[in-house]
Chain A
Amino acid sequence: MNRRHFLKGATTLSVGASFLPLAKLLPTASAASQETAVVVIGGTINSLDIHRSGTNRDSYQVAINCYDRLVSFGTKRMPDGSLSYDFDNVQPELAESWEISDDGTVMTFIIREGATFWDRKPVTAKDVKWSLDRAVSLGGFPTVQMKAGRLESPEQFEVVDDRTFRITLPFPSKLALPDLATPIPIIINSEVAKANATEEDPWATEYLHRNPAGSGAYKVARWSPGEQLVYERNPDWAAGELPGYQRVIVREVPSQSTRRALIERGSVSASHNIPNKDAKELASKAGVKVVSTPIENCIYSLCTNLEFEPFKDKRVRQAVAWSIPYQKIFEQAAYEQGVPMWGGPDTVDDIKWPQKSPYQQNLYKARALMAEAGYKDGFKVPLSFNLSHADWAEPAALQIQSGLAEIGIEATIEKIPGANWRTIALVEKKLPLHLENFGGWLNTPDYYFFWAYIKGNLFNSYNYDNPEMARLVDETLDMAMDHPDYKRNVTRMIELAFDDIPRIPLWQPTLNVAFNDKVEGYEYWFHRQMDIRALEPA
């Protein structure tokens, strides 16, 4: 048995297989020690391959922790002292350097010397090409995300030599390089993958679904679906500093109350994505640290569907925006975790996004607008939200309901199960009034407007259609941020968004993570998953 096969065997997962050599190490590690961190999550990891269709959000962490990309983002310190990734600072990961041609269409990457996969095979440009080809060819989410960076076909990817890789863009785009730093364009060990590919499954989705083959900082030592995932540090990781923990156990605990009890009692090192109420209360408890970071490019909003008769009139939409008890919602739904998104200036002075809308609760104005639009006596409308977001959406909906009642609109609340939400709200776009939480991975305002304000796009769940907005987004999406027209265009987009107000901003939410005080180094990322590579014992 050669070494490669041995290692492959060691990372092969089989459920309940306690005879694996790596698993034998487990008992030596007591829960949550200097060596081992235990992270609890509420969701479930359903695949180790981010490219596979059906892979859920919680599984993205495997792409982050077990694989490398060509590039990554740097780190910045937030005003509250916590750490965050830095969208404006692209850093090397598997590529040690890169060059972009003067016309901005050709990007040439030099792969890091000495970078190897877990089986000691050096990372080559061929692996990079195979991996990116896979992302644009498999369809579904990976392909859509690649397209956002103008990476659409295998012809754009070229192997120059073993360590040199070239990407050609159809036109220059500011989104291309950052898109390469998202969790999607991971670099896979193409030889291992190809050895396990079949005719019907040329991209080895069945194999990689259970057996990651990467070069990343952690390997998967054991995966019991629906129960836990055990990461084991890769001592040969080349693309960054060696992580602080030898082993990280991600345990799935579906009950929110149980998760809170666990972190409060110190049984686990970290609890990821805790509710706002817990974040507020745990912050003052001894032995627990809470890091709450405003989620970039994300706003919790109330959306008014333009296909619903009364909302066709801009004045009715504005009336709704003036009727909402924003402060109450912020207190009861957000527990004051987050950034208020109301009561801003009347004019758009800066292109920071998200920013405060000019609206606040003013029932006098709201009633006047309703009367002007001919809806003095109001109307009835269902107010829907996604059941999976009930922790914030339900209290928000109840407050909105009471605000709307003040101006004669009778809203009935409707909870929609998570599975139906996408189809009804985002695909069919037929909910008259609903709460929505879209956030863009790539942190530019035009990217947000592209997804949420262009007719037909997924997160425009309210059928907003404005030719001026469409033209502006089309012009700006690939435009460099230092382009002379950039600021003017974005300002106009924001003005339109606030004046037409199909999507009423409530607040910018936070991602809350609770830690045992023996854990340091946590860093916020746009993908909202735990990057365990940065964690270290205090």
Chain B
Amino acid sequence: MTSPATSAMPAGPARTSYWQHLRHVASENPVTGLAFALFALFIGMALFGPYLVPFDPLATDVGPALQAPGAAHWFGTDQLGRDVFSRVVVATRLDLLISVSAVAISFVLGSVMGCFAGYFGGWTDRITGRVVDTIMAFPLFVLAMGIVAAAGNTVENIVYATAIINLPFYARMARAEVSIRRNAGFVQAARLSGNSELRVLFGHIFPNTLPPMMVQISLNMGWAILNAAGLSFIGLGVQPPAPEWGIMVAEGANFIISGEWWLVIFPGMALMLAVFTFNLIGDGLRDLVDPQRRT
């Protein structure tokens, strides 16, 4: 897998073959096709959801409180008489925002750290290694709790906390992928043709680390949402009344025993579907960018 041809570099003529490949992958594996369709649906919900829903997701008393699903309220109403369907749809935007930004931050920071460590080795490697070990040694959820508790209970801090706990995965992966390539033939060639070290690292080696990273990204997107949900369950999540799947499941869980199942099932299904979609896309992306891993 040392050939740069498998990289995700956006080269002009490569694009058409890329789409063909996508079509090929989607047709061969209908599940991946379904995953991309679902992903498009989630993006659509995030972009247009707030304009499409039948009720204001924040408005209380749009119907009687704790009403079971029916014609007027498809997913029923919650303890404050809010429409659960509207809340589930509108929550998409916030949830995707949290997971995408958290994963983006940890991806960028983690891969930069890992690339430097893997490429330069020595003290850079040792220090990064210890930093990463330190983060990993905390039970991750507890670390996230600590950060949110210490820094304050805001969406940004949830994003930062989630980013920090995911950082080691990217750093380690990037380091491993870079260090096995730093003396590969194409790297030597790039160096000899007068490229600076940074250019070699980020222009030539880094793109090769992308395929395994893609899988990690898609997995982490799901975890990021679950993480936010867990924080909500112990009271450190998103502030009310903002709709967010995690907090809705966390609050709804208290109503399981009293029989108001719709409060937890619908946001739970949305959460599950999102995590599911991300996971499937991860597999799909890997198939897409790394045909060698397929049999």
Q: Do chains A and B touch in the complex (CB under 8 A)?
A: yes
By a beta-carbon cutoff of 8 Å, the part of chain A in contact with chain B is 256-257, 260-261, 264, 277-278, 281, 328, 331-332, 387, 390, 394-395, 397-399, 401-402, 412-415, 417
Contact B257 A257 (CB under 8 A): yes
Nearest 9 A/B pairs, CB to CB: A257-B257, A387-B235, A260-B257, A261-B257, A257-B254, A398-B241, A413-B240, A394-B240, A332-B80
* Residues from chain A with Cβ under 8 Å of B61 in the complex: 328
* Residues from chain A with Cβ under 8 Å of B257 in the complex: 257, 260-261, 264
Q: How far is the CA of A402 from the CA of B81 in the complex (A)?
A: 13
* Residues from chain B with Cβ under 8 Å of A332 in the complex: 60, 65, 79-81
Within 8 A of A (CB), among B230-254: 235-236, 239-241, 253-254
Q: How far is the CA of A414 from the CA of B241 in the complex (A)?
A: 10
Contact B236 A417 (CB under 8 A): yes
Pick the residue among B236, B240, B253, B254 that contacts A398 (CB under 8 A).
B240
Q: How far is the CA of A414 from the CA of B65 in the complex (A)?
A: 23
* Residues from chain B with Cβ under 8 Å of A395 in the complex: 79-80
Contact B65 A278 (CB under 8 A): no
Contact B239 A413 (CB under 8 A): yes
Closest B residue to A420 by beta carbon equals B149
What size tier do the contact residues of chain B reach? Answer: 10 to 19
Contact B149 A417 (CB under 8 A): yes
Contact B80 A398 (CB under 8 A): yes
- Closest CB-CB distance, A399 to chain B, in whole Å? 7
Q: How far is the CA of A398 from the CA of B82 in the complex (A)?
A: 11
Contact B60 A278 (CB under 8 A): no
* Residues from chain A with Cβ under 8 Å of B81 in the complex: 332
- Closest CB-CB distance, A534 to chain B, in whole Å? 29
Q: Binary interface profile of B, 172-207, with partner A (CB < 8 Å = 1, else 0)? A: 000000000000000000000000000000000000
Q: List 18 A-B contacts (CB under 8 A).
A: A256-B254, A257-B253, A257-B257, A260-B257, A278-B258, A332-B60, A332-B65, A387-B235, A399-B80, A401-B241, A402-B59, A402-B60, A413-B240, A413-B241, A415-B153, A415-B235, A417-B149, A417-B235
* Residues from chain A with Cβ under 8 Å of B59 in the complex: 402
Dominant secondary structure of chain B at its interface with chain A: loop
* Residues from chain A with Cβ under 8 Å of B65 in the complex: 331-332
Closest A residue to B66 by beta carbon equals A277
Q: Binary interface profile of B, 48-68, with partner A (CB < 8 Å = 1, else 0)? A: 000000000001110001000
- Closest CB-CB distance, B66 to chain A, in whole Å? 9
Q: How far is the CA of A277 from the CA of B78 in the complex (A)?
A: 13
* Residues from chain A with Cβ under 8 Å of B256 in the complex: 257
Closest A residue to B235 by beta carbon equals A387
* Residues from chain B with Cβ under 8 Å of A277 in the complex: 79, 258
> Among B241, B253, B256, which residue has the most Cβ atoms of chain A within 10 A?
B241
- Extra inter-chain contacts (9) besides given A328-B60, A413-B239, CB under 8 Å: A257-B256, A257-B257, A395-B79, A395-B80, A398-B60, A412-B239, A415-B153, A415-B235, A417-B149
- Closest CB-CB distance, A6 to chain B, in whole Å? 44
> Among B65, B256, B258, which residue has the most Cβ atoms of chain A within 10 A?
B258
- Closest CB-CB distance, A345 to chain B, in whole Å? 29
* Residues from chain A with Cβ under 8 Å of B60 in the complex: 328, 332, 398-399, 402
Contact B80 A390 (CB under 8 A): no
Within 8 A of A (CB), among B20-74: 59-61, 65
* Residues from chain B with Cβ under 8 Å of A281 in the complex: 258
- Closest CB-CB distance, A248 to chain B, in whole Å? 25
Closest B residue to A331 by beta carbon equals B65
Closest B residue to A259 by beta carbon equals B257
- Closest CB-CB distance, B255 to chain A, in whole Å? 8
Contact B254 A417 (CB under 8 A): no
Contact A415 B253 (CB under 8 A): no
Q: How far is the CA of A261 from the CA of B258 in the complex (A)?
A: 9
* Residues from chain A with Cβ under 8 Å of B253 in the complex: 257
- Closest CB-CB distance, B259 to chain A, in whole Å? 9
* Residues from chain B with Cβ under 8 Å of A401 in the complex: 241
Q: How far is the CA of A413 from the CA of B256 in the complex (A)?
A: 26
Contact B80 A415 (CB under 8 A): no
Q: How far is the CA of A264 from the CA of B258 in the complex (A)?
A: 10
- Closest CB-CB distance, A121 to chain B, in whole Å? 47
Q: How far is the CA of A331 from the CA of B66 in the complex (A)?
A: 12
Contact A415 B254 (CB under 8 A): no
Report if A260-B258 is in contact (Cβ < 8 Å); known contacts: A328-B61, A394-B240, A398-B80: yes
Q: How far is the CA of A261 from the CA of B240 in the complex (A)?
A: 27
Closest A residue to B241 by beta carbon equals A398
* Residues from chain A with Cβ under 8 Å of B239 in the complex: 412-415
Q: How far is the CA of A331 from the CA of B64 in the complex (A)?
A: 11
Contact B258 A417 (CB under 8 A): no
Q: How far is the CA of A415 from the CA of B80 in the complex (A)?
A: 18
Q: How far is the CA of A283 from the CA of B80 in the complex (A)?
A: 21
Q: How far is the CA of A261 from the CA of B253 in the complex (A)?
A: 13
Closest A residue to B61 by beta carbon equals A328
Q: How far is the CA of A332 from the CA of B80 in the complex (A)?
A: 6
Q: How far is the CA of A76 from the CA of B59 in the complex (A)?
A: 45
Closest B residue to A264 by beta carbon equals B257
* Residues from chain B with Cβ under 8 Å of A257 in the complex: 253-254, 256-257
- Closest CB-CB distance, B281 to chain A, in whole Å? 34
- Closest CB-CB distance, A421 to chain B, in whole Å? 12
Q: How far is the CA of A277 from the CA of B79 in the complex (A)?
A: 10
Q: How far is the CA of A332 from the CA of B81 in the complex (A)?
A: 9
Closest B residue to A262 by beta carbon equals B257
Contact B153 A417 (CB under 8 A): yes
Q: How far is the CA of A412 from the CA of B61 in the complex (A)?
A: 19
Q: How far is the CA of A257 from the CA of B236 in the complex (A)?
A: 19
Within 8 A of A (CB), among B75-100: 79-81
- Closest CB-CB distance, B146 to chain A, in whole Å? 12
* Residues from chain B with Cβ under 8 Å of A413 in the complex: 239-241
* Residues from chain B with Cβ under 8 Å of A261 in the complex: 257
Q: How far is the CA of A257 from the CA of B80 in the complex (A)?
A: 19
Q: How far is the CA of A260 from the CA of B259 in the complex (A)?
A: 12
Within 8 A of A (CB), among B132-173: 149, 153
Closest B residue to A399 by beta carbon equals B60
- Closest CB-CB distance, B79 to chain A, in whole Å? 7
Q: How far is the CA of A395 from the CA of B241 in the complex (A)?
A: 9
Closest A residue to B149 by beta carbon equals A417
* Residues from chain B with Cβ under 8 Å of A256 in the complex: 254
